[in-house]
Amino acid sequence: MSLTNLPLIYLEPSVWIAYLREEMSHNRFDIAEHYINEINEGRAIGVVSSLTMLEVIDVIRKRVTESHSCMRVDRVSEEKSIRAEVNQMTRDFVDMITGLAKQNKVILDDPDISLPDYMKNINQCRDKIEGILQISIDYKCRKCGQKCNPRYNAKMIGHYDFQHAMNAALLNAMKFVTFDEAVPKLKSIPIFRHIDFNLDSR
């Protein structure tokens, strides 16, 4: 089967992270494994942008580090363990992506568009999607942990999410897999109408 006959699928960074870290909450690992198996087994072509690569590597470093306790006595050994785990998981991810790319199961690419036009498109899309402003009555100070007066909390699609969706659209992906419930709202914007944002349409 030629590559052009296979659907192009864009996995948002959280999906790759769920697979690498075997995140079991909300069946994340099972969902991520399903789509990665589709790519591995040649039933779809994965689309991976440089933004995806950079974000996954950055999140690996943060998640692995924050998952370790700082209460252990041997700090030197613990920090060595953290660095080793971060480096190993990063290598696993890079090796997996480059290996799939060599087998033509993954396309490593970025949209062929100038940066000004790219950002203009993203900002135009952002203007069409309204977020939700909520009042949080349980807000706590990040420094001291004390309860504060109610604050506004913005629930909206993040800038990186817009970028990933734009990359998927400009690279002709037919499916965009994400764990962010807000992202499917992009379906109302013309440039994203050809993309399937439904995570469970398996």
Identify the pLDDT of residue 146. 75
On whether the CB atoms of residues 121 and 166 are closer than 8 A, the answer is yes
Alpha carbon distances (Å) from 83 to 67, 80, 100, 105, 197: 12, 5, 26, 30, 35
Nearest of 94, 103, 96 to residue 45 by alpha carbon:
103
At 124 the pLDDT is: 84
Per-residue pLDDT, 183: 82
Residues whose CB falls within 8 Å of the CB of residue 39, separated by 6 or more in sequence, listed in order: 9, 45, 46, 100, 105, 106
The pLDDT of residue 48: 96
> Are 105 and 46 within 8 A, CB to CB?
yes
Helices and strands, counts by H and E, the chain: 6, 6
17 vs 68: CA distance, rounded Å: 17
pLDDT tens sequence for the chain (202 residues): 344 689 999 999 999 999 999 988 888 899 999 999 999 999 999 999 999 999 999 999 988 888 876 666 677 888 888 899 999 999 999 999 999 999 999 999 999 999 899 888 888 887 777 666 667 667 666 666 677 777 766 667 778 888 999 999 999 999 999 988 778 788 888 888 889 986 654 4
Domain boundaries, the chain: 3-112+159-192
Question: Which residues, in sequence order, are CB contacts of 174 under 8 Å at separation 6+?
Answer: 7, 8, 9, 194, 195, 196
Buried (b) or exposed (e) across 156-185, using 16+ Cβ within 10 A? ebeeebbbbbbbbbbbebbbbbbbeeebbb
**Domain 3-112+159-192 in this protein, CATH class:** alpha beta
